[in-house]
């Protein structure tokens, strides 16, 4: 598949045909005096094998999972340790050269898109699981550790790491932290922000600080909570303390076939309205089912206009009772097929269709955009109808796959880039879908982040004052705007000279009033 827009490629970057986009977000001059100085100083201080300057190798890092944006970085550092990260960032700070962190490069909003005038700091070599401490329900891992490996390391102790993005076999914990990633099961268990309790963090001046810790509620501002989801724009995490969750006693997965997404949506609302909080409720519409069938033969019910995958987990008695509720509500809302997975093999079969959906769409369309909008769950039927109207009036096909439980839509907007005008039409439909989400009181992104892809949409969701206030945080961490600049915010805030900055000690501290420690 050669998608130039949103793509499911997770096998890392590949050299593509598109020349680097020279925009404000990506930097202009790859060989100015500042980057030359950085290159020289980094080579002096770091072992040769971690510094990449060869152009062909540099190009292998030109994009993340959103392959229509490509920029060759001026320099790549394959960091091995916190010291190396701190050294590179300090040099960048002194030379005022931008840096961008990269984990596994699976991000779908261009968050790890390099800067032509900057350094890409690749974290994937820092992949030690430093400690698994089931007695504390914690693990301490390096940021390059792959999400699923945390669960594998915790499994022998009866624990797992709850956030489970579909990319969990490849995406990194550092990338998860930066994107506040979720997964199908975040309906019940929450997102990365709810499962990270501490981080070792290199600020954009090169200083290393500890945010949060092993225990909850560290005193002071919740900088950890602020950094989570900040898409690498506040600094780089070099170690992460995560919370481990007890494996549930029982898991039941059901697949229900409906005639329409309206029926499936109504069943979803009824289930949640009844006070059941399933671990996951996922929905696919007819086009997405068609694609999945073609790709993985998942044998979803014939003729279904929509399917729901509902997973219940927890203590056995609880799960049984909730299962009865789920079945009743599905049938009352017109489910004509209801299938239950009783073991892991059957469960994997049900999930296979859902998990392959993005890639499968490649079978029915040469190119597609993966959209990621959120709406209040009760708005589902209305917004789905509006998307259908948008699709029929524009002639652009849209397949719907989504986390129905929390209203996180992943419409897949299909097109053929070799046909003139189709790419633009798809972009337009994709943008209008976001407008529908915002009008319904939702969000432009539920899990993929803003990155470079959606920064232009931020003003549709937030006022200038809102964005300006967010950027005050940015100015506190990164007054020179060198940490992943050009991402999230459509226009950078000038941090200006802030009273007190770089002026040494706080007067109270000097007089000994405030800093008794």
Partner 1 sequence: MAVDAGTTAVTSLAAACDDVREATDADAVDAVQPGFVVRPGSTEETTGVLRVAAERGLAVVARGAGTKLTWGTPPERVGLMLDLTRMAAVLDHAAGDLVAVAQAGCPIAHLQRTLAASGQRLAIDETLPGSTLGGGIATNSSGPRRMLNGTFRDLMIGTTVVRADGVIAKSGGRVVKNVAGYDLGKLMTGSFGTLGVVTDAVFRLHPLPAASGVLSADIRDSGILAAMVRAIVHSDVVPTAVEVDWSAAGGRIAVLLEGTEAGVAGRTAAARELLARAGPAEVDVDVLEQLPRWWGRYPDGVLLKLSCALSGVERVLREAAALGVAVRGSAGVGVLYGGIPVDADVTGAVTALRATCTASGGSLVVLDAPAAVKSTVDVWGPVSALELMRAVKRQFDPHRLLAPGRFVGGI
Ligand X SMILES: Cc1cc2nc3c(=O)[nH]c(=O)nc-3n(C[C@H](O)[C@H](O)[C@H](O)COP(=O)(O)OP(=O)(O)OC[C@H]3O[C@@H](n4cnc5c(N)ncnc54)[C@H](O)[C@@H]3O)c2cc1C
Q: Does 236 bind ligand X (CB under 6 A)?
A: yes
Q: Does 335 bind partner 1 (CB under 8 A)?
A: no
Residue 257 contacts which entry, partner 1, ligand X, none (Cβ below 5-8 A, type-dependent): none
Q: Does 406 bind ligand X (CB under 6 A)?
A: no
Distance CA 195, CA 499 (A): 36
Residue 217 contacts which entry, partner 1, ligand X, none (Cβ below 5-8 A, type-dependent): partner 1
Distance CA 351, CA 284 (A): 12
Residue 317 contacts which entry, partner 1, ligand X, none (Cβ below 5-8 A, type-dependent): partner 1
Binding residues for ligand X restricted to 49-108, rule: CB under 6 A: 64-65, 100-108
3-state helix, strand, coil in the chain (%, to 5): 35, 20, 45
* Runs of H (alpha helix) within 46-165: 55-59, 82-95, 147-154
Q: Does 26 bind ligand X (CB under 6 A)?
A: no
Distance CA 333, CA 119 (A): 54
Distance CA 254, CA 283 (A): 12
Report the residue from 221, 299, 344, 416 that binds partner 1 according to the rule CB under 8 A.
221
Report the residue from 231, 262, 322, 367 that binds ligand X according to the rule CB under 6 A.
231
Report the residue from 262, 282, 367, 447 that binds ligand X according to the rule CB under 6 A.
447
Q: Does 232 bind ligand X (CB under 6 A)?
A: yes
Report the residue from 138, 329, 354, 487 that binds partner 1 according to the rule CB under 8 A.
138
Distance CA 104, CA 516 (A): 43
Report the residue from 448, 453, 454, 485 that binds ligand X according to the rule CB under 6 A.
448
DSSP class of residue 204?
A: T
Q: Answer yes or no: are the C-beta atoms of 176 and 147 closer than 8 Å.
A: yes
Q: Answer yes or no: are the C-beta atoms of 143 and 153 closer than 8 Å.
A: no
* Runs of H (alpha helix) within 440-502: 458-461, 464-477
CA quadruple 101, 106, 109, 110: dihedral, nearest 10: 50
Query: Which residues, other chains included, contact 507 with Cβ-Cβ below 8 Å and sequence gap of 6+?
Result: none
Residue 384 contacts which entry, ligand X, partner 1, none (Cβ below 5-8 A, type-dependent): none
Nearer to ligand X, 10 or 194 (CB): 10
Nearer to ligand X, 104 or 263 (CB): 104
Site string for partner 1, 376-405 (x = CB under 8 A): xxx------------------------x--
Residue count at the site for ligand X (CB under 6 A)?
Answer: 38
Tell how strand 280-285 and strand 367-370 pair up: unpaired
Shortest CB 113 distance to ligand X, Å: 8
Report the residue from 34, 68, 181, 391 that binds ligand X according to the rule CB under 6 A.
181
Distance CA 345, CA 443 (A): 36
Shortest CB 231 distance to ligand X, Å: 4
Q: Does 179 bind ligand X (CB under 6 A)?
A: yes
Shortest CB 500 distance to ligand X, Å: 27
Phi first, then psi: what are they for 168, rounded to 5°? -65, -15
Instruction: Tell me the three state secondary structure of residue 257.
Output: strand
Residue count at the site for partner 1 (CB under 8 A)?
Answer: 103
Q: Does 445 bind ligand X (CB under 6 A)?
A: no
Q: Does 478 bind ligand X (CB under 6 A)?
A: no
Query: Which residues, other chains included, contact 233 with Cβ-Cβ below 8 Å and sequence gap of 6+?
Result: 474, 478, 483, 484, 485, 487, 488
Nearer to ligand X, 91 or 100 (CB): 100
Q: Does 191 bind partner 1 (CB under 8 A)?
A: yes
Residue 172 contacts which entry, ligand X, partner 1, none (Cβ below 5-8 A, type-dependent): ligand X
Nearer to partner 1, 365 or 445 (CB): 445
Nearer to ligand X, 100 or 266 (CB): 100
3-state SS, one letter per residue, for 293-329: HHHHCCCCCCCCCEEEEEEEEECHHHHHHHHHHHHHH
Shortest CB 175 distance to ligand X, Å: 2
Nearer to partner 1, 186 or 240 (CB): 186
Q: Answer yes or no: are the C-beta atoms of 150 and 127 closer than 8 Å.
A: no
Which stretch in 160-168, 280-288, 351-359, 441-449 sits in contact with partner 1 by CB under 8 A? 441-449
Nearer to ligand X, 68 or 484 (CB): 484
Q: Does 484 bind ligand X (CB under 6 A)?
A: yes
Nearer to partner 1, 55 or 502 (CB): 502
**Counting every residue, how long is the chain?**
517
Closest CA to 336 of 378, 298, 308: 308
DSSP assignment of 267-281 equals: HHHHHHHTT---SEE
Report the residue from 279, 467, 482, 483 that binds partner 1 according to the rule CB under 8 A.
467
> Interface with ligand X by CB under 6 A: which residues?
8, 10, 64-65, 100-108, 111-112, 123, 143, 165-167, 171-172, 174-176, 178-179, 181-183, 231-232, 236-237, 358, 447-448, 484
């Amino acid at each position: 598949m050669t998608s130039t827009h949103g793509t499911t490629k997770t096998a890392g970057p590949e050299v593509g045909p598109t020349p680097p986009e020279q925009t404000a977000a990506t930097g202009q001059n790859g060989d100015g005096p500042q980057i030359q100085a950085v290159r020289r100083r980094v080579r002096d201080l770091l072992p040769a094998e971690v510094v990449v300057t060869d152009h062909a190798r540099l190009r292998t890092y030109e994009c993340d999972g959103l392959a229509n944006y490509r920029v060759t970085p001026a320099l790549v550092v394959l960091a091995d340790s916190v010291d190396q990260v701190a050294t590179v960032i300090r040099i960048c700070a002194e030379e005022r050269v931008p840096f961008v962190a990269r984990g596994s490069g699976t991000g779908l909003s261009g968050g790890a898109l390099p800067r032509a005038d900057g350094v890409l700091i690749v974290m994937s070599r820092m992949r030690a699981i430093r400690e698994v401490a089931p007695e504390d329900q914690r693990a301490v891992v390096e940021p390059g550790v792959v999400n699923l490996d945390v669960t594998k390391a915790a499994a022998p102790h009866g624990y797992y790491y709850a956030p489970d993005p579909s990319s969990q076999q490849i995406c990194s914990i550092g990338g998860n932290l930066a994107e506040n990633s979720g997964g199908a099961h975040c309906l019940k268990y929450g997102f990365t922000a709810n499962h990270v309790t501490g981080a070792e963090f290199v600020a954009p001046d090169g200083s290393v600080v500890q945010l949060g810790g092993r225990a909850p509620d560290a005193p002071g501002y919740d900088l950890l909570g602020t950094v989570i989801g900040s898409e690498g724009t506040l600094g780089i995490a070099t170690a992460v303390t995560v919370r481990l969750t007890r494996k549930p006693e029982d898991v039941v997965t059901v697949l229900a076939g409906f005639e329409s997404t309206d029926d499936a949506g109504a069943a979803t609302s009824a289930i949640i309205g009844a006070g059941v909080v399933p671990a996951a409720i996922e929905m696919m519409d007819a086009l997405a089912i068609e694609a999945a069938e073609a790709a993985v033969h998942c044998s979803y019910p014939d003729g279904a206009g929509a399917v729901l995958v509902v997973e219940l987990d927890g203590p056995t008695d609880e799960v049984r009772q909730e299962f009865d509720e789920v079945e009743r509500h599905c049938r009352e809302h017109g489910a004509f097929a209801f299938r239950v997975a009783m073991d892991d093999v059957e469960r994997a079969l049900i999930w296979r269709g859902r998990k392959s959906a993005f890639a499968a769409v490649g079978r029915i369309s040469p190119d597609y955009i993966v959209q990621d909008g959120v709406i209040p769950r009760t708005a589902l039927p209305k917004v789905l109808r509006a998307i259908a109207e948008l699709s029929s009036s524009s002639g652009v096909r849209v397949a719907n796959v989504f986390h129905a439980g929390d209203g996180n839509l992943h419409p897949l907007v299909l097109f053929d880039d070799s046909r003139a005008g189709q790419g633009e039409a798809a972009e337009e439909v994709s943008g209008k879908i976001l407008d529908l989400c915002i009008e319904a009181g939702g969000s432009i992104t539920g899990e993929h982040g803003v990155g470079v892809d959606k920064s232009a949409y931020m003003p549709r969701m937030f006022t200038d004052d809102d964005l300006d206030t967010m950027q005050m945080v940015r100015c506190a961490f990164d007054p020179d705007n060198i940490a992943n600049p050009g991402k999230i915010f459509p226009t950078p805030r000038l941090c200006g000279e802030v009273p007190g900055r770089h002026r040494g000690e706080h007067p109270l501290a000097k007089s000994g009033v405030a800093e008794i420690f």
